[in-house]
């Protein structure tokens, strides 16, 4: 629903990096995807984790704004001013990407190292993709130029829309979001926890925190190395579970078997009976941070 308005501010080399979207045929839903400069996937988010909370925050904002004269006037003014600043930001980013391309071309003429040449060529292509994306953003922003005039005449209908929010088409919700909000920033706190920030056009923000699904957690290269190290060093099960508190024991086993083979894991599986069920639950709920009973 909010494709094009989802960004990350945690990616190296970018102040803001836009999420792309792709349809997941297997699960019958959209995924928001964050990619780095070389188009490697950093992480993905199923659409419902974004669309549903943002839709509710938008509904609450519309209700609060429509019944307050000062808030409504401020929303109209900030909508108009923000359009100019966003236009200027995009143009500056396009110019910066063009300068990067020219610098890369100049450096390529003086390099003979194949690896450096390959890296510069990849960087050149990434800058070209950025320019194409920014130009598309600029077109979308210019197409939205007359939305402020439409918004000024929409106030009488806002309260009715809010009352029947569940019946409002997705396209109309998106249009309302464009009028009242600037963007959504998604931040990854750790492997399990995320939060999103809706940045409204009046300069305020609304935050929503959520937890990622158990089965959707993917181990990073650092996670895999840590898991292998713990198993190679014959670490007890409880220590391994402490290292991955967001994963249930059977999922840790499955991930190790997938990446490194299952035979070496049999020793740890046999140790499972040594840890009481209650304590395993405490570990997975992060209560393990407290001192463990001496009987263990």
The predicted-structure confidence for 223-241, as pLDDT tens digits, reads as follows: 888 988 888 888 888 888 8
Beta strands in 170-256 (DSSP E): 181-188, 193-200, 205-211
pLDDT higher than threshold 90 for residue 273: no
| Residue 82 pLDDT | 53
Q: Judge contact between 185 and 9, C-beta under 8 A.
A: yes
Q: How far apart are CA 61 and CA 290, in angstroms?
A: 41
Q: What is the pTM of this model?
A: 0.54
Of the candidate ranges 26-35, 167-176, 273-282, the one whose mean pLDDT is the lowest: 273-282
Helices (H), 144-180: 147-152, 155-163, 170-180
pLDDT higher than threshold 50 for residue 9: yes
Q: What are phi and psi of 37, to 5 degrees?
A: -65, -25
Domain chopping of the chain, boundaries: 6-213, 219-289
Q: How far apart are CA 66 and CA 72, in angstroms?
A: 6
Which DSSP helix (H) or strand (E) runs through 46?
strand 41-46
Of the candidate ranges 8-17, 78-87, 157-166, 177-186, the one whose mean pLDDT is the lowest: 78-87
Q: What are phi and psi of 22, to 5 degrees?
A: -145, 145
* Confidence band, pLDDT 50/70/90 cuts, at residue 201: confident
Percentage of the chain lying above the pLDDT 70 cut: 72
Q: How far apart are CA 121 and CA 105, in angstroms?
A: 9
Q: Judge contact between 232 and 261, C-beta under 8 A.
A: no
Average pLDDT, the chain: 76
Sign of CA dihedral 151, 157, 160, 161: negative
């Amino acid at each position: 629903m909010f494709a094009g308005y989802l960004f990350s501010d945690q990616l190296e080399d970018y102040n803001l990096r836009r999420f792309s979207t792709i349809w997941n045929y297997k699960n019958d839903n959209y995924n928001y995807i964050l990619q780095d400069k070389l188009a490697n996937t950093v992480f993905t988010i199923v659409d419902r984790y974004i669309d549903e909370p943002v839709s509710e925050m938008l509904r609450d904002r519309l209700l609060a704004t429509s019944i307050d004269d000062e808030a409504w006037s401020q929303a109209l003014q900030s909508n108009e001013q923000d359009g100019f600043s966003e236009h200027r930001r995009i143009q500056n980013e396009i110019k910066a990407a063009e300068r990067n391309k020219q610098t890369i071309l100049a450096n390529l003429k003086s390099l003979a190292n194949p690896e450096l040449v390959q890296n510069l060529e990849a960087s050149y292509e990434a800058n070209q993709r950025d320019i194409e994306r920014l130009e598309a953003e600029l077109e979308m922003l210019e197409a939205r130029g007359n939305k402020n005039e439409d918004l000024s005449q929409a106030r009488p209908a806002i309260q009715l829309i809010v009352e029947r929010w569940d019946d409002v088409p997705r396209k109309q919700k998106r249009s309302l979001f464009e009028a009242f909000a600037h963007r959504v920033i998604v931040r990854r706190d750790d492997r399990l926890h995320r939060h999103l920030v809706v940045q409204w056009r009046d300069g305020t923000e609304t935050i929503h925190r959520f937890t990622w699904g158990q089965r959707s957690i993917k181990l990073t290269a650092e996670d895999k190395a840590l898991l292998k190290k713990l198993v190679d060093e014959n670490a007890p099960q409880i220590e391994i579970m402490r290292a991955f508190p967001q994963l249930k024991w059977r999922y840790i086993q499955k991930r190790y078997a997938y990446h490194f083979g299952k035979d070496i894991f049999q020793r740890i599986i046999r140790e499972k009976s040594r840890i009481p069920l209650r304590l395993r639950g405490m570990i997975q709920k992060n209560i393990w941070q407290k001192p463990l009973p001496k009987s263990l």
